[in-house]
Structure 1
Amino acid sequence: MNPSGLRGRPPHIDSRGDTPRGTPVPEFSRIVLAETLDEGGSSLDIEADESERSLLAERFGLAGLKTLTGAVRLTPQEGCALVRLEGAFRAEIVQTCVVSHEPMEATLEGFFERLYDIVPEPAEGSDDGNIDIDAEDPPEAAPEGKIDVGEAVAEQLALEINPFPRNPELSFADYSTDPDDGEKTESRGGPFPALAKLRKKPK
């Protein structure tokens, strides 16, 4: 699952700690020190353990997170002031169907890129509040040259999770949307005939 097919000397990596001062430790933390990266780039594979998966499942509102693996490549840019991250991840998740409330499994995969500034400039106080929608996203700050590739993978996983999971084999026609039913029950007509009646109702 190497995103670039290239590998360099493995960088120095810390798990569960050594985050920048004042920064809380995320559930799945893998800190890479920018100063340990090869000039041509360094690659590594990471995997969340059972405890980390349990914490991430709670964070993302999942019924379960069976596996989470990632492959990242970090390449210094522009005189090592910036570091580009190219990543890929794969996760096996368990969610609860929003219709039947039954568990359902899904496999998610994704590729992503990020740019980190290991020497961030101080924020200027002359911001006029205007937003340039055409401007490129600024690099993410990496205080003390520490890049948390585990958190980057976790954040990308969160973007790929369906917030309203529904079993594709399940039909909404089998369920009523009438709040008086209490529990969802079988419905013959569904919501659309009722909507048509409302439109035809005389004023």
Structure 2
Amino acid sequence: LRQRRFLGATAGGLFTGLAVLGFFSYLPTLMQQALGLGPFTVSLLSAVWAGTALLVALQARRLTGRVTAPRQLAAGFLLSALGVATLWNGLAPGSTWKGLVLGLVVAGAGSGLLNAALPLVAVESVPPERAAMGSGANNTARYLGASTGVALSVAVSTTAHADTLREALAEGANRASLTSIVLSVVGAGVVLALGRRGANR
């Protein structure tokens, strides 16, 4: 952890879990409760986010040699933040699922960049003979972040109070969204600051 690039890679995994995976793991529950959507519709909307992430991750190999892994991570965090910002008030009473699609696509693109860059930055941050350790540490940080992120999203979203349950859920969703946005922006700054080439100390 005294190596800046390894610390940056680990922080990238941690913030991916905290800011992205935690929020999007709880979002289906919010969509069901706030908008009254059925499980099938929520599954389709979740597939929009996950499918976009998969497609972008497969195409991200074209960035190899053109964009450094830390910059790709930062771009992923910022796209995710933009996508979540687009979801703002999307769970308010009277809203429909159609208003969520654009935000899910943008956030999915960000997740795809993160998923493609994380393994690369994890291995690049350690000597070749320690590649397995680098990958393992990165995955551990990611899963720790995800489990904490889910708990944080639940805690933040359930602190809202309003005249009706759906209004409270909508306000809670906005608070969880804001938390995800802030953490994503912080994550982008951290990986850029710590992931500079040659910044080993």
Q: When the two structures are superposed, what TM-score results if normalisation uses the length of structure 2? A: 0.22
Larger Rg: 1
Q: When the two structures are superposed, what TM-score results if normalisation uses the length of structure 1? A: 0.22
**As a proportion of its length, which structure holds more helix?**
2
Higher relative contact order (CA 8 A, sep 6+): 2
**As a proportion of its length, which structure holds more strand?**
1
